[in-house]
Amino acid sequence: MPAPIPGRHAGKVAIVTGAGQGIGLGIARRLTAEGARVVIAEYNRANAEAAAAEIGGGAVAYPVDIGEPDQVTQMVSDVVQTCGRIDFLINNAGVNKTQYMLDVTPDDWDRVQRVNQKGLFFCLQTVAKQMIAQIPDEVKAAGKAPHSYGKIVNFSSVAGRSGRPYAADYSASKWAVISITQSAALALAAYNINVNAICPGLVPTPMWTDIDRVQAARFGLDQGGWMQKSIDAIPLKRAAQPEDIAAAVSFLCSTDADYITGQALNVDGGIEMN
């Protein structure tokens, strides 16, 4: 399993959305172990507080609904007040509802896009404004920054690479994340703020447990049967763990990735290859 690199992110401040469980919690653990101060920006207050207590290292629980731009603006202001600055945004929070494409209702559609597209976009925009405010005026005037002034990592999915008959609205939202990533990378390039996306494959988090529950029932499988069938189809023959995804996030936040922007990285055991 990938291991933290001590001191890699010493002194950095990171907001990780949806870090109360699953992949986000794994990212928060890793960035903290590497010296960053992590803000757990999470809808579920109890999980946010439990995560901050477990992680330690100055981690801060911040209950927020990222689908509400006013709450996001307040969060960014409060984080700057508490932590002084923002160096990384990990736009990880996301929602999904597994159902056949013909059954998706307008409300289902709105619910998924509100968090996965709109929430992600306005977190990115609001944090980017703060990152720009942190750049000295003379650097801004030059129109060319000498080093990276912030790292933003957006969460897409392998479902953002190809369509999904049982997650059409989710797949659309994750394709949109790649578009947002490319647009933001171009818009923020003059400030040397790196914007990239990660496309995880199958990580057995509460989100995937729910996918398995619905699909196993649909196809007459035992609980866990749909997940196992999906794992068997992965070229590397195993599910990812949150640590696998956190390792890629840590790399994209590091100076090793200073020359990488506008990319979408599959971290999926070989499911997708473009």
Ligand X SMILES: NC(=O)c1ccc[n+]([C@@H]2O[C@H](COP(=O)([O-])OP(=O)(O)OC[C@H]3O[C@@H](n4cnc5c(N)ncnc54)[C@H](O)[C@@H]3O)[C@@H](O)[C@H]2O)c1
Residues identified as active-site: 170
- Binding to ligand X, residues 196-215 (CB under 6 A): 200, 202-203, 205-208
Amino acid at 74: Q
- Which helix (H) or strand (E) is 13 found in, with range? strand 13-17
User: Taking contact as CB under 6 A, which single stretch among the options 5-13, 20-28, 127-135, 187-195 is the one that binds ligand X?
Assistant: 20-28
End-to-end Cα spacing for the chain: 24
Question: CA distances (Å), 87 to each of 9, 130, 150, 166, 252, in order?
Answer: 10, 9, 5, 37, 12
198 SS3 class: strand
Determine if 155 is a binding residue for ligand X (CB under 6 A): yes
The CB-of-117 to ligand X minimum distance in angstroms stands at 11
Determine if 113 is a binding residue for ligand X (CB under 6 A): no
The CB-of-246 to ligand X minimum distance in angstroms stands at 11
Determine if 17 is a binding residue for ligand X (CB under 6 A): yes
* Cα–Cα distance for residue pair 139/169, rounded to 1 Å: 41
The CB-of-116 to ligand X minimum distance in angstroms stands at 7
Of positions 115, 172, 176, 180, contacts ligand X by CB under 6 A:
115
99 SS3 class: coil
Crossing angle of the two packed helices 206-218 and 225-232, in degrees rounded to 10: 100
Determine if 44 is a binding residue for ligand X (CB under 6 A): yes
Provide the binding-site residues for ligand X, judged by CB under 6 A. 17-18, 20-24, 42-44, 47, 64-67, 92-96, 115, 119, 155, 157, 200, 202-203, 205-208
